[in-house]
Amino acid sequence: MKKILFVCTATATLFIAAAQKNETKPSSGNPLFPGWYADPEGAIFKNQYWIYPTFSAPYNKQVFLDAFSSPDLITWTKHPAVVDTAAIKWARRALWAPAIVEKQGRYYLFFGANDIQNNTEKGGIGVAVANSPAGPFTDYLGKPLVDKFHNGAQPIDQFVFHDSNGQYYLIYGGWRHCNIAKLNNDFTGFVPFDDGTVFKEITPEKYVEGPYMFVRNGKYYFMWSEGGWTGPDYSVAYAMANSPLGPFTRIGKILQQDTAIATGAGHHSIIKIPGKDQWYIVYHRRPLTEKDGNSRVTCIEHMYFDEKGFIKPVVITKQGVEPYRLQ
């Protein structure tokens, strides 16, 4: 009797172990959180992941920006309306593509507003500031930081790049042109380059909008979105250079639609785990059930490099990524 009981117990133990081994690991799932959100800016502040997206709706309804935070990439908390047009008096609609940096304990949120079409309209790229990544953010300048078209670039889709030498750059531009400019120390304006110019064009082949830059192993990776934002061909491509000023020669696409999962995968940002060669790409895409251009959701995937440092094509999934807590 004892022998039979032992066999049954051992069998039960093996069965439980096998079940545990085959059990699906928790994952973030895609989309990361409910609602129509696009152009996500990923960041890490105080051992928390943060995402600042565009509220994806008709322009006249885009009068605020929400934020989302997570301790593990799985569970996300919504921080509604961290900034809105009530706080930014010159902005009236089309709050787009937030970019955020922390400097000396303050959080600077850069955004596009009003979708200006020429130099006579009021709007462009603004800056809001707060003492917490959750806001509330208030108008930092009382006016746009960039309110004109330079080198043909519409003043939208701003990204702030912090170089290893301490210099902060504003990289931005729609209408198939991209500029880079050196921000001054307090983000109230710009410092001219050595040749006296303020806005240098660094537009690579097929660039449309949504610039992003990071450094890995001494190489500058410049990324952008291609195609039309309402179409299935929206995608992300990249280039590499030895300087944030380029020259940047297009290498190829690394993020695009999978017709079995979603279309219009683009306008991304990158999250790197501090101290590790561990990278995530945060982006938006359009569910297969949706035709409306504004029906976009925020998703996340792993991003990998090959032995030569080139970015491997990103596989878009429904599962997303596994949990990872910051130390």
Q: Which of 39, 66, 84, 115 is the catalytic position? A: 39
Number of compact structural domains in the chain: 1
Is 139 part of the annotated catalytic residue set?
A: no
* Structure confidence at residue 25 (pLDDT): 63
Distances (CA, A) of 127 to 87, 173, 181, 184: 11, 16, 15, 13
Tokens of 7: 């066999």
Average pLDDT over residues 131-151: 98
Q: Which domain holds residue 164?
A: 35-303
Could you tell me if residue 27 is inside a domain? no
Residue 254 domain-assigned? Answer: yes
Residue at 17 is within a domain: no
Let me know if 209 is a catalytic residue.
yes
Q: Please tell me the pTM assigned to this model.
A: 0.92
CATH number of the domain at 263, please: 2.115.10.20
Residues 262, 282 contacting (CB under 8 angstroms): no
pLDDT digits (tens, 9 = 90+) for 108-125: 999 999 999 999 999 999
Position 20 scores a pLDDT of: 39
The catalytically annotated residue of 157, 209, 226, 301 is: 209
pLDDT, residue 327, reads: 81
Q: Average of pLDDT values for 179-208?
A: 98
In a domain, 161, yes or no: yes
Q: DSSP readout, 99-158?
A: EEEEETTEEEEEEEETT--STTSS-EEEEEEESSTT---EESSSS-SB-S-BTTBBS-S-
DSSP letter (8 states) at residue 154: B
With vertex at residue 210, the alpha carbon angle to CA 167 and CA 58, rounded to the nearest 5 degrees, is 130
62-106 pLDDT, tens digit each: 999 999 999 999 999 999 999 999 999 999 999 999 999 999 999
**pLDDT at residue 286, rounded to an integer:** 98
- Under 8 Å between Cβ of 93 and 84: no
- Please tell me the distance from the alpha carbon of residue 185 to that of residue 183, in angstroms, as a whole number: 7
- The reply to whether 11 falls in a domain is no
Confirm whether 324 is domain-assigned: no
pLDDT of residue 6: 39
Mean pLDDT of 307-322: 98
Residue 87 lies in a domain: yes
